[in-house]
Amino acid sequence: MNDSPGWASPGSSPSEGAGGQAGQGGTGGQGTPEGIQPPAQPAADSKWSDAQPPPGQWSSPGAQAPAPTDAAPPQQPQGGWGSYGPQPGQPGQPGQAPQYGSPYGGQYGYPGGPAGPWGPPPAAKPGVIPLRPLGLGELLDGAVSTMRTHWRSVLSVSLVVGVLIEVGNVLINKFALADLTTASATGEDPEQVFRGIRDAVVPVLANGFLQLVLGILASALLTVIYSRAVIGRQITLGEAWREARPRLLPLAGLTVLLAAGAVVLFAALLLPGVLMKSIGVAVLGFLVSVPLFVWLWFRFLLASPALMLERAGIFTALKRSDKLVKGSWWRIFGITLLTGFITGIVSMVIAVPFTLLAVLSGVGDLSGFTDGSFAVSWSFLLISGIGSIISFTVILPISAGITVLLYIDQRIRREALDLELARAAGLQHYGSAGAGYGG
């Protein structure tokens, strides 16, 4: 018999002691002399008779069978895992099903939790996620639920950032890259192409800097909003700004440091091939730098939420991310990659119809395709820009939310953050008697 809490031995006989005694006193056994028939035993003393009582009415071996009555048979207890053996603490009543939470009880086998009919009871869920380790579906559901329940704050951030980024892209494509696009498409003098590239460097760098600043701002605000959504607290955009503002400079420093590290990594591995003028060495350096960059990127993926939510410094946030990701790199990599694939499909579904409409509206005749002028027309830029804004508004909160929820999930798994989140959400006595998922 398995005496572990909440489990019984499947398929056990009504009484294990009865089975052992019956096996020793049977006819023809080693204890009976040859040629001598044992005396017949009275029917009342038989351990197992031909006429078995109805299911669920087994009595202790040797006890007198109960008198038949017209009353309905007793109801089998509901819940638990079924009649697979005696309930823990009651070895003489094999007809009763074990209750999953009683007498041991508790969430996932811990004391103090309610019983469940098919498994452990659900974890506490004060906000958009349950307070326990999360799966991929729960991570995606938490990100989408935050967009739905806190849409004013979430969509305001992503919409404003998306509009500003797309305005910068439209202006760059219309005024800085229009001549370059036309010259490249018509095959004009290479000197003119290089001149166009030189003239476009400053506007492109300025637009890249604008996108970097807006990305940092959006990341900071969305991290604060998601951290409140986890414990079921509403937060306005103004409150999120006041809380995120002191962390903007450290977050900018972290972003610049990671970008500079990526540049140094690629330069260090590609520069030998460039200096040696060897294509083979350069290709080898590139093949080494790409997986190393990916490994480091996901190693420090959780540094941004650690910096925002733990009020940590830049290098402390990097160390925290390294600690939280260690041992779970492949899981985080797979979840992030699959999330990127899903959001990419959603982005295409939204943006492709606008792009097709923009192409049809920007091409007056076939010459627009040959010289590339349709790609810099106002109609094409504006219509495709609207599609990009809508796509960005939907995709940005999901991508940022997955990162924040992965950070919270890793801390729940490693540091029992669910206890602190439960207290912040106002859940009374959470985890006091082993209830809840402690890590």
pLDDT tens for each residue of 85-127: 344 444 444 444 333 333 333 333 333 344 444 555 578 899 9
In this prediction the pTM is 0.69
Does the pLDDT of residue 255 top 90, yes or no? yes
What single-letter amino acid sits at 60? S
End-to-end CA distance of the chain: 30
pLDDT beyond 80 at 18: no
What pLDDT shows up at residue 203?
Answer: 77
Burial of 186 (0-12, 13-18, 19+ CB in 10 A): exposed
- In one-letter notation, the amino acid at residue 277 is K
Output the pLDDT for position 434. 46
Span 366-386, mean pLDDT?
A: 74
- For the segment 389-415, what is each residue's pLDDT rounded down to a tens digit? 999 999 999 999 999 999 999 999 999
pLDDT of res. 63:
44
Q: Mean pLDDT lowest for which of 8-12, 168-172, 319-323?
A: 8-12
Per-residue pLDDT band for 188 (boundaries 50, 70, 90) equals low
- Per-residue pLDDT, averaged over 203-213, amounts to 86
Q: What is the pLDDT of residue 24?
A: 43
Higher pLDDT, 352 or 28: 352
From CA 126, how far away is CA 162, in angstroms rounded? Answer: 31
What's the confidence (pLDDT) of residue 186? 54
Minimal CA–CA distance to 63: which of 46, 76, 75, 78?
Answer: 46
Residue 173 or residue 209, greater confidence: 209
pLDDT tens-digit profile of 268-286?
999 998 888 888 899 999 9
User: What CA–CA distance (Å, rounded) separates 270 from 107?
Assistant: 54
Q: Compare 33 and 193 and report the one with higher pLDDT.
A: 193
